Chains A and B, each alone.
Chain A
Amino acid sequence: MSASPVRTTYREAVREAIRDAMRRDPRVFLMGEDVGKYGGAYAVSKGLLAEFGPERIRDTPLSESAFVGAGIGAAIGGTRPIVEVMTVNFSLLALDQIVNNAATLRHMSGGQVSVPLVIRMATGAGRQLAAQHAHSLEGWLAHIPGIRIVAPATLEDARGMLWTALEDPDPVLVFEHQTLYNMEGELAPDAGAVDIDRAAIRRAGSDVSLITYGASLFKALTAADTLATEGVQCEVIDLRTLRPLDMNTLLESVRKTRRVVVVDEGWRSGSLSAEIVTRIAESAFYDLDAPPARVCSAEVPIPYPKHLEDAAVPQPHAIVAAVRALMPAPVAR
């Protein structure tokens, strides 16, 4: 088999992850709105119905609470369902099932019931879908004990996180940023399962720690390149897991660089970035050389026009400005 990497897209990597899981374990099946005949709202499951049949690629009626709850019941009942909620915006209709059942049953039953369920959701803005289709609510769900939250940004993670999530005996929510599906890149032909416990340093640097996840990762990397031309070396960290947070990796980096900027597409108030900055202030206060900073979405319903949508969500120039504000006055270094 050719060892050279394969040219592919984030979407195809996710599809391959589903196909691989379904081939490896008969208990695994996919359930969600338009995942079968229609091939998936983002065409992730195109072709899977033909390969696996309607029993295992199940189109659901538009009843998020029922089919997410059914996913929970089926997982308790011995199968390994992958429930696709078209976007996080629709997950609000299933929040009761996710929070009151999936996240709670194990603890509340004294450990007698576990829910080995995976729920995949698209998230984030950037496609001019306007406020009701542009939410970034993963931070909400990262607040809930009893579930795990992961955010694959790279092709390797899109391909590798699903299997590990399926093997986890507790519910795992996978957030795929909708602007990433078309992202092209290279993937090893034998790319397989990856861990879902640790953050990853995507770019090493010594001056400031840029902590982010999902689609914002690539905006942070762009910003880091710009800053490098001004002699500022950014360390870009991809969270990969939003709950639990891999604080060891974050703190180690912040203790080295002494400066931190968190980039989070959620709204600032009560966001995931607020939690990360708080934990850094609690554990690395005496290592900070400048106040921690955040770049988040403007606190507005995401507007439809492109120029407004772009202005509302974090952009590379905002990240660069945030970093510059933390650096000492320009002097020959």
Chain B
Amino acid sequence: MTRDEIRNAVIQALTNIAPEIDPQDLQPDTVLRQEFDLDSMDFLNFVIGLHDTLGVDVPESDYVKLATMKGAVQYLESKLNDRLE
């Protein structure tokens, strides 16, 4: 799974919740919850979305790691690599 594929998966999960999100606005360090007005229900659906597309199970304690775009991609990349070893 390349970094870009992970990034697309994240964008896909986000746009499912908030269709009006414009991918260009997704700078690496934009704080997802503030920028796109995501409440706890949205964030849970976002996590479920990642689970469906990437098969990654994000525990509640790791939510904070998904705060930004960059953070989310790095976290997911590491999670996927762990699974490969």
Q: Does a CB–CB distance below 8 Å link A and B in the complex?
A: no
Chain A contacts to B: CB under 8 angstroms = none
Q: Which residues of B contact A (CB under 8 A)?
A: none
